[in-house]
Amino acid sequence: MYVDQLKKFLDSHRPLSEITVRSLFNDFALRYNHESNRIEGNNLTLVETRVFLEQGVTVKGKPFKDFLDVNNHRLAIDYMMDLIDKKEPLSEGYIKKFNAILLKSTKDDQYAGVYRHIPITIAGSPHTPPQPYLIAPKMEELINSYHTDIAHPIEKIAKFHAKFEAIHPFIEGNGRTGRLIMNTELMKHGYPMAIIKSDDKDTYYEALIAADNGDYSLIINLITEEVENSIKQTLSVIDPEWPIKFEHYFSNEKER
Catalytic residues: 168
DSSP calls for 181-248: HHHHHHHHTT-------GGGHHHHHHHHHHHHTT--HHHHHHHHHHHHHHHHHHHHHH-TTHHHHHHH
SS3 18: helix
Distance of CA 230 to the CA centre of its chain: 12
If one counts every other C-beta atom within 10 angstroms of the C-beta of residue 82, the result is 12
At residue 22's C-alpha, the angle toward residues 96 and 235, to 5°, is 105
Distances (CA, A) of 86 to 83, 90, 154, 181, 241: 5, 12, 21, 15, 34
Distances (CA, A) of 46 to 53, 66, 188, 195: 11, 12, 27, 14
Residue 32 marked ligand-binding: no
CB-based contact 48:62 (threshold 8 Å): yes
Residue 249 marked ligand-binding: no
Rg of the chain, C-alpha, whole Å: 19
**Binding-site annotation: residue ranges for ATP:** 204-205
**Binding-site annotation: residue ranges:** 204-205
